[in-house]
Amino acid sequence: MWITAATDPFGNRGELISRLYGMVGGTVDGHARLCAAAWLLDESELAVWLLRESLSRLRAPGVRGNSGATLSALQWACIDTGRWDEPLLACREATDLAAAYKMEAVAASASLATATVLAMRGVHDQVRPLVTSVLATIDAAEYRGFAARAWRAAGIAALAEGRYLTGYAQLSQLFGADGAPLHHRVSYLGIADLAAAAVRAERYLERGGWWNARWPGWTPRLARGWISLPPAPGVWSPSPRTPSLTSPRPCPTRLATPGR
């Protein structure tokens, strides 16, 4: 389950989800990898519940050093469901854990999750240092998921500041010129943000060809119309208004994830 969810979450998704719920019903301890599989399959509410259960066990004396991956998955699952205070708490715990056990990947994930929440809340000045630090620490060619999350956080922050060309340039790095994703899953989470940036920066014609090839029906007119629509309940609007610093913005993950 874990291997398939991690390598091809959009393949036989219906079959995987059926197996996932069957395994959840038959498990007692909520294994960490099963929790992460739920998150990767975009069953975010289930993932949050399972990850919380798993984390409560991993916080026990003698096993705390094993909770890094679970904390990282919980951060992103909470962001996917608009729970923005909880991932920040998990990020602080993960940062302390990473320092104690020298877990660079856990620390990088915590920094990127924090940057993403701050970008969505409009705290722009704190986003860039976090992203820069992560990109200076990791090998972007090897850790493509981290690189994709870094570019997305930086792009969202730039868009919220009204720096549309910068935001477009950063979000464009989620995909190659031929439309190939930088990361097979994370890149797709930024499609809605990239579409908003393309229209705001008037660069939608540059991307129109490969967008239409991958998602038939895409046109510049459709993009402009999507930008001008009033937000539906619970859906983030990419209008250039200043984001609230206290009210969370629902994450557009489900708009952008293939198969949803």
DSSP letters, 71-92, are: HHHHHHHHHHTT--HHHHHHHH
- C-alpha to C-alpha distance for 50 and 56, rounded to whole angstroms: 10
Residue type, 39: W
245 CB contacts (<8 Å, ≥6 apart)?
A: 121, 122, 123
Residue of 247, 234, 237 whose CA lies nearest to 200: 237
Beta bridge partners of 175: 181
Structure tokens at 228: 């001008």
Question: pTM of this prediction?
Answer: 0.78
Residue of 106, 156, 133, 158 whose CA lies nearest to 256: 156
- C-alpha to C-alpha distance for 239 and 228, rounded to whole angstroms: 8
Structure tokens at 76: 């992103």
- C-alpha to C-alpha distance for 198 and 9, rounded to whole angstroms: 27
Beta bridge partners of 181: 175
Sequential pLDDT tens for the chain (260 residues): 778 888 888 788 889 999 888 888 765 454 777 888 898 898 999 999 999 988 888 877 766 667 888 999 999 999 999 999 999 999 999 999 999 999 999 999 999 999 999 999 989 899 999 999 999 999 989 999 999 999 999 999 999 999 999 999 999 999 988 788 999 889 989 988 998 888 888 886 565 555 666 655 555 555 554 445 444 444 334 443 333 333 333 333 333 333 33
Residue of 80, 77, 75 whose CA lies nearest to 107: 75
pLDDT at res. 198? 86
